[in-house]
Amino acid sequence: MNGKEIVFSAYDFVKTDRMPSSIFGGGVWTYSYYGEEPEKLVRNPVRMAEIQTEMADILQSDIVYVGSGLNNCLVAALGAPITYRKVGAPDVEPIVGSISDLEKLDLSRIDTDPVLNNIREATRIVSKNVGNKYVVTTTTWGPFILAGQLCGIEQLMRAIHKNKDLVKAVAEFAAKMVLRFYKPLIDDTTIQMISMADSLSSASLISRARFGELGLPPLKTVFSELKATGTKSLLHMCGEMSDRLDLVSTSGANCISLDAMVDMKKAKEAFHGNCVLAGNVSATAVLMDKDSKVVRDAVLACISSAASGGGYMAMPACDLPHSVPIENIKIFLETAREYRP
């Protein structure tokens, strides 16, 4: 079985020849490795595809995330001012302060935006190059963090307590943004899986009750629509999620990856087989800073906690900082690939 077959078999809880293993994201890391600036790459889909294809075969990660690190471009397509950095993800400014502001936004711009179309084109090229052996996808933020970008994160947090109607409206709109972004790639069968990340639904920002009321419904909307098309899904949840694992496991995602502070054994129990669990070797405290033995031991510790009975994918706890040594990424993936129970 190749990496693609192993991932999708694992998503169906089918026993595989080896454990699925993947980085998460890795776009900013890849651009930095090749000395490429994000602002230049979004204008050059051929070059973006070239470096992602080459790195796919160097790392042999079971999942390849084209355009990772450029998630903020989705909000920019609707008119949000965007500022690119030489290294790192670009920044965007909020554009929604009220429901009337939201009603002025035109979702059709997601279809025609040149940057988004370049990311889609790069994804198509990479899929043609290596999509027969790896899961090739592209990435976006989840609805709740997109809502935070549209409104401004501080303003959204205030609105959770003072203006729930606005929060619900923006989150519902953001769910439509996600689906609109992916639709062309799903329709032409370039991708069979989407990848979303959410960093605003953790316990450090909103309560379990608020997540269930405001953060979970738009996730369910996205995954329900995707399921109807036969498209699989990976959801990464940043931050402390321990008190809401049972809730997020009902989102409809095929696989959920978790951050380093979450106990993987407890997460596996809380998921009750609703979805596959992925994670959670720290990308900063381990992959960025430690030697090969510590990396290997951390991978094996995660496997020991979560792999029993299947339904587990080895993955870092978050996206890769640009300074992570490539040797540590290779060791991480090799350790998981070579593991046998």
Instruction: Answer whether 129's CB lies under 8 Å from 53's CB.
Output: yes
3-338: CATH topology: TIM Barrel (3.20.20)
The structure tokens listed for 77 are 């397509």
Determine the Cα–Cα distance for residues 67 and 41; give it in Å rounded to an integer: 9
Quick: pLDDT tens for 76-116. Answer: 999 999 999 999 999 999 999 999 999 999 999 999 999 99
User: Which element (helix H / strand E) includes 27?
Assistant: helix 27-33
Report the pLDDT value the prediction gives residue 204, as an integer from 0 to 100: 86
d(CA 320, CA 318): 6
Q: What is the mean pLDDT of each run of 10 residues along the chain (341 residues)?
A: 97 94 97 97 98 98 98 98 95 98 98 99 99 98 98 96 97 99 99 97 94 98 98 98 97 98 96 95 96 97 94 97 97 96 70
Would you say the pTM of this structure is higher than 0.75? yes
User: In this structure, what are the phi and psi dihedrals at residue 197, rounded to the nearest 5 degrees?
Assistant: -130, 145
Domain boundaries, the chain: 3-338
Tokens of 293: 């033995």
Query: So what's the pLDDT on residue 61?
Result: 99
Question: Which amino acid type is present at position 22?
Answer: S
pLDDT digits (tens, 9 = 90+) for 225-281: 999 999 999 999 999 999 999 999 999 999 999 999 999 999 999 999 999 999 999
The pLDDT score that the predictor gives to residue 340 is: 85
- Nearest 5°: the CA angle 166, 169, 171 is 105
Nearest residue to 314 (alpha-carbon basis) of 20, 64, 16, 63: 20
Buried b (16+ CB within 10 A) or exposed e, 90-117: bebebbbeeeeebeebeeeebeebebbe
Do 96 and 164 meet the contact criterion of CB atoms below 8 Å apart?
A: no
How far the first Cα of the chain sits from its last, in Å, is: 18
Residue type, 211: F
Residue 147: Cβ-neighbour burial (10 angstroms; 0-12, 13-18, 19+): buried
Phi, psi of 216 (to 5 degrees): -75, -40
Burial grade of 278 (CB within 10 A; 0-12, 13-18, 19 or more): buried
Residue 17: other Cβ atoms inside 10 A: 10
